[in-house]
Structure 1
Amino acid sequence: MVADLDPVADELYALPRDEFTAARNTAAKRARQSGDKKLAEQIQALRRPSTAAWLTNLLSREHPDEVRALVDLGDGLRAAQDQLEGEALRRLSQQRHEVVHGLVEQARALARSAGNPASDAVTRELEDTFTAAVNSSAAAEAVAGGRLTSALDPAEAGGLLGSTTPPAARQDRDTGPDREERLRRDLEQARSTAADADAAREKAERERTAAERAANDAAGTLRELRSRIEAAEKAERDTRTRARSAERDVGAADRAAREAQRRVRDLERRLDQH
């Protein structure tokens, strides 16, 4: 990643979500016009954040201290797990629930302020993202970096269990320049994973849109067929009503004809008698 990309990316991911694509394309065009083809390609590759990712990015900018607290909380949980400190684990687990819930509520408040209240699905994605940030230092750094493009998965971010690195070794690794370099690598990997997930999400959204369009078309066809069936059923009922009325008329005409014939025969008999 070239140095010039960072300020451009920071600026883009700080924008309202619906302004991202146009601003990204403009920035990429400007880089191409200035002769920096590589930077233009890197800018063009930046993906628009999902709603949950955008809210997370917004929260990391407006409440950075609270978001950064996820790193410390995750470190504390992992340390307690390594040292098998049950009471500390219970206390920190409760704190995790409270911190995640608090951040989700703050993100939802930001969504309401922006005139776009978070749906239940977005709320679940926010919960997953903040939980992932507790479970993984790399995920926490990605959240704090403010450039997420999609929600994070707690399972993929890595849990508190299963760590095979001794506490002392992790402490040595997590100090000084080595820790910073490792975190930078982890951050790049997390961003790459998030970008892939975002691409999968966009594909799924396109497929969902196509499926919804097909479902709507089918529903329209079904409504038309039902309307035609109802009209045909009504026509059948009307026709049968007319048929029954005509049948009654036929019966009445038949009786009248027989009565007229009897009258004719009676008169003919009387004439013959004279």
Structure 2
Amino acid sequence: MAAPTLDDIAAALYAGPPDEFTTARNAQAKELDDRALSAEVKALRKPSVAAWVVNVFAQERAAQLGEALALAAELREAQDDLDAPALAKLGRERRALTRRLAETAADLAGSRGERVTPATRDAVEQTISAAFFDPDAAAAVASGRLIRALEPSGSTDDIRDAVAGTLPTLGPPPERPADELQERRRRRDAERQVAAAEKDLAAAERALAKEDDAVQALSARAEELADGIAELEAQLEKLHQEADRVERDRPAAEKRRTAAAERKDAAVDAVEAAREALDDL
């Protein structure tokens, strides 16, 4: 039987009762013949309550957590191909799954007699959320050897410092059959082509609607101008007719004026003659 490693001993200690951690750690270190390993065990830090809750869940619900982390890995890979609405839906589903796992972990801790406060539950949920976004954080959570809660934005060094023993790496998700992978790729390519074609169709429909509006506006203006031209042509015809009438009537009017002027001159002469006759009296 192989001798226990620091990781093995830490996993057992970090899933044990929090109040008994220090006593159990010191006892375990004392029992070891390997002085270097004993010193490493003695140096193990007590986990926070939130870290302990996640450790218990990781060890007792390893299959459930493993499925969730495998799904998270697939979603991280697939999200580059998703559009904004799909990404929003994915985000909602991820948050819902994170809450469910955190609640399960809290209930499991409660069944062991540990009181989980709202702040602790939030820290557990935050830690699981970090595992969904970062492969190193996922490996740290799956190890069951967390010392403290994880931050979603934590660096690799932060994650390493939060794990007792070595920082493990997650194995690759189980490979899907080649034909299934090819079918997924073909379907994804087909969906992209449909999306691109629908986008082009929408753009073409908008362009057509714009040109329809332009044609209708020009047709309405053309009718308006045609009506205006017809009205002006009718007025011009009336003016031509009036001009012709004036030209026809003007010679007669001029003759009448000449006759009237002659009568006036004659009347002036008569008036002068009458005045002279009056003066001679």
**If the length of structure 1 is used for normalisation, what is the TM-score?**
0.53
**CA RMSD across the alignment:** 2.3
* C-alpha displacement of 1:84: 4.4
CA displacement, residues 124-152 of structure 1 (integer Å, 9 cap, x when unaligned): 10111011010111111111111111000
After superposition, the Cα gap between the structure-2 partners of 1:113 and 1:19, relative to the gap in structure 1 and judged at 3 Å, is same
- 1:192 equivalent to 2:157? Answer no
Query: Whole-Å Cα distance in 2 between the matches of residues 3 and 85 of structure 1?
Result: 48
Aligned counterparts, 1:253-268, within 5 A? none
Aligned counterparts, 1:1-274, within 5 A? 4-31=5-32, 34=33, 36-156=34-154, 190-194=159-163
Number of aligned residue pairs: 162
CA contact under 8 A between 1:68 and 1:144: conserved in structure 2? Answer: yes
Match of 1:244 in 2: none
Deviates more, 1:47-56 or 1:13-22: 13-22
Query: Whole-Å Cα distance in 2 between the matches of residues 60 and 193 of structure 1?
Result: 15
Query: Whole-Å Cα distance in 2 between the matches of residues 16 and 155 of structure 1?
Result: 29
Unaligned runs of 5+ in 2: 165-281
* C-alpha displacement of 1:47: 1.4
Deviates more, 1:8-17 or 1:81-90: 81-90
Greater C-alpha Rg: 2
CA displacement, residues 149-197 of structure 1 (integer Å, 9 cap, x when unaligned): 100001115xxxxxxxxxxxxxxxxxxxxxxxxxxxx7x97342456xx
Amino acid across the alignment from 2:101: L
CA contact under 8 A between 1:74 and 1:136: conserved in structure 2? Answer: no
After superposition, the Cα gap between the structure-2 partners of 1:46 and 1:191, relative to the gap in structure 1 and judged at 3 Å, is farther
* C-alpha displacement of 1:106: 0.8
Question: The residue matched to 1:23 in structure 2 has which SS?
Answer: helix
* C-alpha displacement of 1:48: 1.3
Unaligned runs of 5+ in 1: 158-185, 196-274
Query: Whole-Å Cα distance in 2 between the matches of residues 113 and 105 of structure 1?
Result: 12
CA displacement, residues 203-246 of structure 1 (integer Å, 9 cap, x when unaligned): xxxxxxxxxxxxxxxxxxxxxxxxxxxxxxxxxxxxxxxxxxxx
Query: Whole-Å Cα distance in 2 between the matches of residues 191 and 42 of structure 1?
Result: 16
Amino acid across the alignment from 2:94: R
CA contact under 8 A between 2:150 and 2:162: conserved in structure 1? Answer: no
Amino acid across the alignment from 1:148: L
Query: Whole-Å Cα distance in 2 between the matches of residues 135 and 47 of structure 1?
Result: 26
Query: Whole-Å Cα distance in 2 between the matches of residues 69 and 60 of structure 1?
Result: 12
**If the length of structure 2 is used for normalisation, what is the TM-score?**
0.52
CA contact under 8 A between 2:150 and 2:159: conserved in structure 1? Answer: no
Amino acid across the alignment from 2:20: E
Amino acid across the alignment from 2:26: N
After superposition, the Cα gap between the structure-2 partners of 1:101 and 1:60, relative to the gap in structure 1 and judged at 3 Å, is same
Deviates more, 1:64-73 or 1:79-88: 79-88
Identity of aligned residues (%): 40
Question: The residue matched to 1:156 in structure 2 has which SS?
Answer: coil
CA contact under 8 A between 1:73 and 1:92: conserved in structure 2? Answer: no
Query: Whole-Å Cα distance in 1 between the matches of residues 105 and 92 of structure 2?
Result: 20
Deviates more, 1:82-91 or 1:114-123: 82-91
After superposition, the Cα gap between the structure-2 partners of 1:111 and 1:136, relative to the gap in structure 1 and judged at 3 Å, is same
